[in-house]
Amino acid sequence: MFDTGPDLSTGLFSHIDFTHGAVAAVSGGSDSTALLLLLKHHLDRTAPSVRLLAVTVDHGLRQGSAAEAQAVAELCAERGIAHRILAWSGRKPSTGLPAAAREARYRLLAEAARAEGIGLIVTGHTADDQAETVLMRQVRKERLAGEQRLDREEGRGLAGMAPGTLYDWREWIVRPLLGTRRAALRDFLQREHVGWADDPTNADESFERPRVRAALAGDAGVQRVDGALALAARAGVERTQLGLAAAELILRFASQPAAGLIRLDPALLTAGDDRAAVYLLRVLVATTGGVAFLPDQARGEALFGRLKAGFLCATLSRTVVDFRRAGIFLRRETRGLPRAAAAIDGSIWDGRRRITLHDRSGGLLIAPLGDAAAKRLAIAKEETPQSLLRAARAAEPALLQAPERPGLVPDRPASQGFAAQPVVAPFARFLPSFDLAPARAVAGLIGASPLPALPFGGHSAG
């Protein structure tokens, strides 16, 4: 039986629903090793039938990584924990390596979870990691402000890592140790006589995070860590509240007259909550344009101000914003639409539509429907201007039969053969739990797939 101590034995996992199992991301470092053993203890005690799979991602970036992964495998074998080692293969980028490694890690973890039918990934991010993240973003924000440039995420990033993040609209990544200091986890491992690996890159101050980590080391950093965690807590509450207010405005003022066309009631401009209205506008513009990041705060505020001033037609983040007597309409601009290309099942087209093929025979192309074909479609008479309906339809994907002669693309769409499910572009890859309310509201508005339930608030299955 583990001597987990009162500070680690309660509160870490009891609020997480492990009914469908869990994948634990274990690098072999102290944080993830402690996470694995504590989680194993919790499940053995409360839900012994739940599946637990430990996954180690070997990034192949330095000597010794394979040996460290093997050490995790041996620990798992000793403790009766299923384990897999996954390698990040292929060429590594010369710049942005930490971000690329992080993306590869989450992709491989998600693939492992999906293969096992598990929808939950647990990581060992600690309070120290959270403080480092917040301070890095704070420094970046201050630097950009000094250069009179605004970060695309402004203060939203000061909330740090969310307790839960939905990856690819499918798997939940949860971080139960965000309130736990690294020193406490290492004390636990030492009491249990379990070792861990120290990644030398964590001390390489040519990278930003190790520099911040060094600045927070020792007694001198305690106050800065506490301040960063308090800042993250406040920013997280503010971000959640702003999202709730924006979601309410979406339900009140937004509608979808046709696929690819969103209408905002002009009453939004005088609803009395300009801050939430600007956030709503930024989210809907990014979604309509199929871009992964929200337009920055300054551009969002400027657009909202221009809308308040009267009718306009403007473009932001690949989205045409057209304010007419009939309402404020958002649609994908025609510039920069994808060219005809082979249809790939499960791919995201133009950042806006997830493609599902019904015909697996091959030889199919996907391309925008186009103006000519859109004009030939019969559109029922309604209040929405016909020109907007046709423009929105022209930017929607159509499946084309591949021509016999290369280089020719017919303008007649195939009548069947595929489905194009809308996606909420700015949240499609990573959806922090702070942003659940606006993501859910937009998904309902455009007909995206429902969100899987957040794995918090319940109890583990027995």
* pLDDT the model gives residue 145: 64
pLDDT at 276: 98
Quick one: pLDDT at residue 232?
A: 95
Amino acid 407: pLDDT: 41
Return the pLDDT at 43: 94
Low-confidence ranges of the chain (pLDDT < 50): 1-3, 6-7, 152, 403-415, 459-462
Confidence (pLDDT) at 210: 76
Q: How far apart are CA 289 and CA 90, in angstroms?
A: 31
CA–CA separation, 138 vs 9, rounded Å?
33
d(CA 334, CA 172): 35
- Give the pLDDT confidence of 18-33 residue by residue, as tens digits: 999 999 999 999 999 9
The tens digit of pLDDT for each residue in 347-366 reads 999 999 999 888 665 667 89
Q: How far apart (Å, rounded) are the C-alpha atoms in residues 86 and 89?
A: 9
Half-sphere exposure of 424 (CA within 13 A, CB side): 28
Q: Which two tokens stand for residue 191?
A: 């009491």
Domain ranges, ordered by start, for the chain: 6-125+161-217, 341-379+387-422
pLDDT confidence of residue 90: 81
Q: Which residues pair with 357 in a beta bridge?
A: 418
How confident is the model at residue 7, as a pLDDT?
Answer: 47
> Residue 359 corresponds to which tokens in the numbers above?
């015909």
Domain 6-125+161-217 -> CATH class: alpha beta
Question: Is the Cβ–Cβ distance between 260 and 392 less than 8 Å?
Answer: yes
**139 in Cβ contact with 147 (< 8 Å):** no
Nearest to 283 by CA among 427, 446, 449: 427
